[in-house]
Amino acid sequence: MKVLHVGSKNYPPNHGGVEKVVYDITMDNHEFDFFILTEWVNTNEQENVKTLPNGVFKKLVFIYNFVRNNSIDVVCFHKETYSLFGIFFSIIGYKTILIFHGLAWRISRWGYFYRSVFYIMDFIACILVNKIVFVSESDRDYYKKYLPWREFYFIPNGVECNEKNKNNIEEKRLERICYLGRISPEKNILNLIRAADTYKLKLDLYGPIDKRDKKFNDSFMNLIKKSEYVQWNGAVESNKVYEVLKNYNVFINPSFSEGMPVSVLEAAANNCYLVLSNIEAHKKLNFPEVTYIDCQRIDLSNLNMKSIGNKNYDHVKKKYSLKTMKDYYNKLYRYER
């Protein structure tokens, strides 16, 4: 059975996010024949991995020809902006799965017009596309409220759970806060830097800068230059993430919007105590050792830098392991046979 995944930036992944999830679903999975279409031209192309052209219409034509020429059985679209594609392939008769890793209409950088378009297209997709998967339970519940007759699938992202990581609690860790993820407006990074400066707490930031917003980029670099407590360490390759996280007791994610944050799961799998924004997507994770903070007013006054999240590892292994995620997707593909 041939399954196509569309929407990851590259393959193998440079960083986390959608591309890491696609890689984890397909890697060492010999039950199906996987094909991947990526968005970045730096992809190491293989027979089953190709790069999409730029432009919506060119992408649509490319995907259609690829599906037809390779006799693809199931087409999986990732990312919020592929709703239109999912609708098209469902209408013309292909078995289609649309996977929502988040909701684009909740992200302010798109602007009112695009957010309105995304909102409408997502609802149409939730009605017409063969199968809809949400990685966020709160996102699934939102659409279920308006479309109660429709079956939606909740498949949370999964991460590696290694017993060696669980047992490294006694290792000496840095008394610094760690953030690992994209440096972008929706991640609330500017408020986080200001909070670290206000409470005089050392903060290490890891992640690539989202270069689509020049005003944000300039503000970020100015705050970093002025700060005595915050250090930006650049992007981390996906296979080095655990090496970074094991050095910290406390991990923070103050974002305004999330689907299923992989970096939070990875931090928990490394026994980190979690400090998360009080959005529904974070609360639905139900971690045992966590502090919730207000997105608009980040209060770190009571944070204990020596806190440890040793119970968080067991929670991840039980509910958000890599094996659990792959089993869910394999079961979904089998239904399409």
Per-residue pLDDT tens over the stretch 21-47: 898 899 888 889 999 999 875 556 677
Q: Please tell me the distance from the alpha carbon of residue 173 to that of residue 155, in angstroms, as a whole number.
A: 33
Q: Which two tokens stand for residue 220?
A: 């970020």
The answer to whether 18 touches 26, Cβ cutoff 8 Å, is no
59-73, 105-119, 172-186, 277-291: least confidently modelled range: 105-119
Q: How confident is the model over 99-150, as pLDDT tens digits?
A: 998 887 777 777 788 889 989 999 999 999 999 999 988 899 999 999 999 9
Residue 204 has pLDDT above 70, yes or no: yes
Instruction: State how far the alpha carbon of 259 is from the alpha carbons of 186, 210, 282, in Å.
Output: 12, 18, 9
Q: Please tell me the distance from the alpha carbon of residue 276 to that of residue 291, in angstroms, as a whole number.
A: 6
- Percent over 70 (pLDDT), the chain: 95
Instruction: State how far the alpha carbon of 282 is from the alpha carbons of 210, 219, 260, 278, 326, in Å.
Output: 22, 27, 8, 7, 22
Residue 227 has pLDDT above 90, yes or no: yes
Residue 170 has pLDDT above 60, yes or no: no
pLDDT score at 32? 92
Q: What is the mean pLDDT of the chain?
A: 89
83-92, 160-169, 308-317: least confidently modelled range: 160-169
The answer to whether 121 touches 83, Cβ cutoff 8 Å, is yes
Question: Buried b / exposed e across 246-279, counting CB within 10 Å, b at 16+?
Answer: bbbbbbbbbbbbbbbbbbbbbbbbbbbbbbbbeb
**Alpha helix stretches (DSSP H) within 199-309:** 214-226, 241-245, 262-268, 280-283
311 closest CA partner among 325, 290, 326: 290
10-19, 91-100, 146-155, 323-332: least confidently modelled range: 10-19
Say how many C-beta atoms besides its own lie within 10 A of residue 37's C-beta: 23
pLDDT score at 150? 95
Question: Buried b / exposed e across 188-216, counting CB within 10 Å, b at 16+?
Answer: bbebbbebbbebebebbbbbbbbeeeeeb
CATH 3.40.50.300 assigned to 2-158+321-335: no
Query: Domain segments of the chain: what residues?
Result: 2-158+321-335, 163-319
Region of residue 207 (phi > 0: left; psi between -120 and 50: alpha; otherwise: beta): left
pLDDT score at 336? 62
Interval 184-189 mean pLDDT: 92
CATH of domain 163-319: 3.40.50.2000
Q: Is the peptide bond before 185 cis (omega within 30 degrees of 0)?
A: no
In this chain, the answer to whether the domains covering 2-158+321-335 and 163-319 adopt an identical fold is: yes
Q: Please report which confidence band the pLDDT of residue 165 belongs to, taking 50, 70 and 90 as the band edges.
A: low
Residue 48 has pLDDT above 90, yes or no: no
Interval 291-307 mean pLDDT: 90
pTM, rounded to two decimals:
0.87
For 186-227, the DSSP string reads: GGTHHHHHHHHHHTT--EEEES-B-TT-HHHHHHHHHHHHH-
Residue 202 has pLDDT above 60, yes or no: yes
Question: Buried b / exposed e across 120-142, counting CB within 10 Å, b at 16+?
Answer: ebbeebbebbbbbbbbbbbbbee
pLDDT score at 167? 58
The answer to whether 298 touches 174, Cβ cutoff 8 Å, is no
Q: Please tell me the distance from the alpha carbon of residue 97 to that of residue 93, in angstroms, as a whole number.
A: 12
Strand order in the sheet with 49-51: 49-51, 33-38, 2-6, 74-78, 95-100, 131-134, 153-154
